[in-house]
A and B are shown apart, each in its own frame.
Chain A
């Protein structure tokens, strides 16, 4: 049952059904109890009437059936009198087939009993009463005794049964009507209760990928829905920011690729416009090769980031001696450092080890060290240090460059974010280096951060120890 409306209707009908059932049963039985009470009271009065007509004649109880009309109690229609031994002293003439209860000694408290008889299951109500009759012994007053007789009065239960049947059928009819009304009502109510869901749906239709700035206005909804709408709006905020970043990234990536592509195309077109000398052609080819290489760096960076974003470049970790890894990187950047007269300094204990993917961590630390050389001042210094802590190893790469302005620090790890775009042309960075560093370090469960001052910048890579 996947329909909320159906669930609401069925649920409310179940509750209503239980209420109607309990009410009907209680009402039915209390009504029956009342009717039986009234009947039992009448039958009890009849037994009393019979008792008042009892007399003792010749030491034996007898019933005076004469109807002389003088303030004598009326004789009930169906009754009998039984003596102590169970033999019938007197019995009213009708009905002949009436099955008097076989138990001759009924309970002390006069109480009605229901007897069913015959193939038609005709039911009768019988009240029994024990009456003590005083026997006057004239000869021996001391021997005066009481004779106990049982008086039983009966009445057909037919009228009560009919009345109860009538009541039952009315209750059933009323229940059906109540069910129909409640069913219709809960259908409408469920529709009303679900209307906000439809309205939220409609409102969500307005918020699409191209219109992510649209928000749901909680003013038009019930108070209970405000938290939900707040959360939806917060989710849209995050989505909009993510789309915004994605769009910015795509725009940046296309700019970063289109511009060198335009340079190559334009250079070739201009070269082909007229006959060229070999020197001119070589010059052009060299220029285009440099431009193509810079495009290659961007594309490879983008591919690496895309692979890592998709989780397809999980680090294959192994134990690495940090000092020898940094020495390898130093060897690779040595010529650039010498050109800029930047001194490379290694301050790592030979036994310091890290657990990392060697290729990835070489790329990450390589990018940081390369940057430290590239953005250093002439005659500057690059210092790589490491501190082994209890649960992590912290690698620091410090330069003596001009530093990064505080406003840029939070954004330098963003893709294609540049402090000053003019530097890329002269330094050859692709704008993705720090993003790649961050991605690799985070894939290792670590963190990279940067701090900067007038004396230079320090990049800190914290890698967890395995």
Chain B
């Protein structure tokens, strides 16, 4: 399809008629500021194609001018396939449509007929999806066109790839998909009637099976009834037979009753004889017991009498023995001696303590005196080492100043030449040399008086020396000494006194010991004296010895007394036991004598009734009678046993039991049969067979329907899968040629190191530039836009010719750098020159497209 011309009036922001001519081959550049109607050109193309003139769709209403009362109108002229036509619409409630076909056969139509004819021509000659895909519209510049579904692109790629067939079969695929989705969800699960029938069929089959089950129950019940009735018949017959047998056996049993009677009598006699034998044996045993008892009583009496005699002897012997003496007197004597020794020992200890305290008192008092004297001396002498040090410093400073002034002073050397005394400062002097530190008067009395004055500068130093001397003397005075030497002596004395004070204080503390003061020590001395008391104090050693001896003696006496007491207690206890034994022996002897007398009396009374021989004979007689009776019983039992009486009796019992069991079973059977018949009567009328038939019929209906639907469903699935599978494979085959087409154009834009990877949907997955591969989504906005343009131009170029559609680029390359833009434009020029693609560029910034060199250029105002 090639767009030749367009005319817009009252369309969106455009008022007056706007005519635009397009280059049929090559590039048309339409430039103009914003809101001059560039985008309206794109919109108008779509509206005139897709909407009827009378359409009230929102998109159509949106292009009505808002400032004037007028209908928007569009007129386009184009070539498509063999057709050359002009198509115009004025959009209004009663809009107008005009189609003029110029070639191949002139046609002129209006209204809906015009719209339908135009639509038919477009459908016949162009691909609307391709038409849309080739527009890179403002606002969505980064999107990639959806190319995979474009039939013309498929055809083109198929022809390049050597495919002899073409076509996307979109409609067929949609119909197949729709058919598939009638039966399955997109994820392949049965749905709709397919799923519903499967569920209903399962339920119906379950119901049918249940109904069959109920029927089978009835059949089983009927069979069971049949069996029960048969069993009852058998049992009834069996009971009659059993009754006859029991009667016969009972008769045979009666014949043996006489013998049983005899046995009973013999058993009674044997029982009586047994009892008599037992009584007589008991009497004989009692006689023997009485004799034994008497013997035993006699023996016990002899033993008791012997014991009694022995006990009496033991008591006498014990009482004859003497007990130990009373120990109390010895204890008292030893105690008195111990107390005395303790007192003496205490006095001796007090004496020792007194002596010690007196010694310490003497020492303490001496130390106290020495301390007080030292303290007095220290109070009188305040010259300590520190004071001496200070005085020594003062003395040194004075001496130093004096020496200095002496060194600086002139020296008078005096030499007496005769006998005439020479006075120096009024005194005869032998000194030959004398420093002049102050005016010196040398006088030879009567002869001459020479006054020598020191030089003036020396006067200050001399004054300083004098001041320091005076200071020294004042210090001596303050200390109460004449000079430094005396001060040193006093200081030594003071140091000595301090040592004595310290020593005496220590001595006093040692002498006081545990006492805190002298007075306390004196109190101790007094206390000790009181403890010693009057009289000569004892010798400590002797007192200690005496105390130890007394204590040992006392302990010995106490121990001996304890032993003696225990001995007497034991002797008393033995005596007590012996006396008790004697009493017991006496009582026992009396008791045993009485018992022996009783035994003798009882035996005598018994023998008076029957003597021993009579008793023995009676026992023998009874034993013989019993033996005879037992033999009689055995004889009758033998006869009964020979005639099988026991077996017969137990058989009668067993048969009677069996008969009762059978009769009980017969009653049970009757009840069971009644119960089954009742159940069958109730259930028989329920029409279970009908219910089962209906259920089976319902299941069969559903099964037929389900098989039909399932067959169709599986056919749809098979067809859908096979077609989809092949469509995928075909698309994969198109990827190669498409990649080549893009790479070819892309090298102009991106350079020789450019390549792309294409997905099955013909979208660009990655871009490779100089060895570096980047996924499309990670590319910059500029690169994405450039690849988008590349995809469209490559598609248009591949489709080309009459099958193609114009590439419309609305306000693109806003993201591109100047170099890249230049290259994109070069690529567009190159494609335009080939004459296969119609390119329409819309821009508000013409400078961007300076290098485009359009075939037609139109400026909008």
A associates with B: no
Chain A residues with a Cβ under 8 A of chain B: none
What is the interface of chain B, defined by CB distance below 8 A to chain A? none
